[in-house]
Amino acid sequence: IIHQLDIKSIDSMTQKKDGSIGIATNWDVYGSVHHKKHVHYRCNTYKANVIIKPTENYWKLVEIELLDEQRVL
């Protein structure tokens, strides 16, 4: 279960010719894993390049290149 997502940094944003935006970013995800009647709390940190593209009513995540993932907690 995800409890919290914190964007740590947006290192760069680049507008593409098709109107999409490339973003280099880092974020943390806090959550819990439940099994065998006990709970493990976790925090993972991620680094990725993502591309979002405008649609009629919202921005859509169209690509993600995960560069790094580390368990912090």
Structure tokens at 43: 């925090």
Q: Look at residue 16 in the predicted model and tell me its pLDDT.
A: 96
**What is the pTM assigned to this prediction?**
0.86
> In angstroms, rounded to a whole number, what is the distance separating the alpha carbons of residues 50 and 45?
15
pLDDT in tens, 15-59: 999 999 999 999 999 999 998 899 999 999 999 999 999 999 999
Structure tokens at 65: 């290149």
Q: Look at residue 32 in the predicted model and tell me its pLDDT.
A: 96
Q: Look at residue 47 in the predicted model and tell me its pLDDT.
A: 98
> In angstroms, rounded to a whole number, what is the distance separating the alpha carbons of residues 3 and 50?
22
The answer to whether 42 and 35 have CB atoms below 8 angstroms apart is no
Structure-token match 């819990």, residue found? 32
